[in-house]
Amino acid sequence: MNPKRSNPLNAGRRVLLRAAATLAAAASLFAAAPAFAQAPVKIRIGYIPVGVYAYFWRAQEAGYFKQAGFEVELVPLAGGGQIIPALESGDLQFGISDISSALNARNGGVKVKFVTVNFYQTKENPVHAVVSNDPSVKTPKDLEGKTVVTNLKFNTDWTVMRAWLRQNGVDLNKVTFQELGFPDMLAALGANTVAAAGVIEPFYTIAEGRGYKVLGRYFADVRSPIAVSGVMATEAYLAKNGPLVQRFVGALDKAVADLSKDPAAARALIAKNTKTPPDLIPKIRLGVWDSKADPAQIQFWIDRANGEKLLTEKITVQDVLWTAPR
């Protein structure tokens, strides 16, 4: 009996069906993969390598930046004086800033906006304090006729220090304000060359360990919670890269959520990436990480800056807070 011959038309259909299935599978793979996965976007972020900005380290180590399609270089810098010009020049795509510095930049014609405001202080978790080693200073009122130092004038610390002193009935005309870097403040207090200093962690905890008097937690005493800092970019960059910026903020938000839920992870990152003495790591206050930007917090700083006559231009919340395109 002769074997049945296969129908050449049916065989052709089978080949075509297999080919179509293969193409469909390949297409589904390409469709499932994000377009940016094949070519990571290189970005440079200017930041200060301190615990406040531990979310950058977390986003790197957890792979959140990579998952979002970025190849990130974290660039350690001294502060806004270096970061803002680098944003303007395009040498950086993103950079950290406290809110007052961003307002000052806008006032000076530098069009920057926060893409996220994500670090706060509260009465329960402050990171700034006013400390004194002067035995004659028992209350804030005793600072009249004396010298108080903040890390800079006309910035966030200076603005809040003045608000805190006013809140405590101090005549600001009777106080001498000086600038001094945070690392040098404790030595000045120890030598009694200044009456009080506005310190930040870990110097807050070190001052307590030395027995210095804590007169107040000036940021959180003035407002709790109080927004302190975030990440910004130029308006020009934001206008051209809206979807990319959304991915970047999404990666940061994941890291912020991790640190908020797991303070131990934050302390481990600080131990690994800073020179904080190991014995202080379990003791230092961390502040509060929260990625929900509240316009009222920005308005608070605008009002304070106007009250100190630091702004010559009208600045609104919308001028400094980026809104993701819909």
* pLDDT value of position 116: 97
* pLDDT value of position 38: 65
* pLDDT value of position 81: 86
Contact 172, 165 (CB under 8 A): yes
* pLDDT value of position 134: 98
What is the model's pTM? 0.86
Whether residue 26 is predicted with pLDDT greater than 60 in this model: the reply is: no
Separation CA 189–CA 106 (nearest Å): 35
CATH pick for 128-222 out of 3.40.50.300, 3.40.309.10, 3.40.50.10190, 3.40.190.10? 3.40.190.10
Range in 33-37, 102-106, 219-223 the model is least confident about: 33-37
Contact 269, 132 (CB under 8 A): no
Q: What average pLDDT does this structure show over 266-279?
A: 96
Q: Report which of 192, 115, 102 is spatially closest to residue 155, judged by C-alpha positions.
A: 102
* pLDDT value of position 326: 78
Separation CA 13–CA 9 (nearest Å): 6
Q: What average pLDDT does this structure show over 216-223?
A: 98
Query: pLDDT confidence of 1, banded at 50, 70, 90?
Result: very low
Instruction: Give the CATH architecture of domain 40-120+226-320.
Output: 3-Layer(aba) Sandwich (3.40)
Q: What average pLDDT does this structure show over 175-192?
A: 96
Q: What angle do CA 232, 238, 240 make, to 5 degrees?
A: 155
Round the average pLDDT of the chain to a whole number and report it: 90
The packing angle between helices 295-307 and 156-167, to 10°, is 80
Q: What average pLDDT does this structure show over 274-284?
A: 96
What token pair was written down for 5?
């011959």
* pLDDT value of position 30: 32
pLDDT tens for 7-20 read 443 433 343 334 33
Contact 116, 45 (CB under 8 A): no
Contact 95, 47 (CB under 8 A): yes
Range in 138-142, 152-156, 218-222, 230-234 the model is least confident about: 152-156
One fold for 40-120+226-320 and 128-222: yes
* Ranges of each domain in the chain: 40-120+226-320, 128-222
Query: pLDDT confidence of 133, banded at 50, 70, 90?
Result: very high
pLDDT tens for 62-121 read 999 999 999 999 999 988 889 999 999 999 999 999 999 999 999 999 999 999 999 999
What token pair was written down for 90?
């395009």
Q: What average pLDDT does this structure show over 302-312?
A: 97
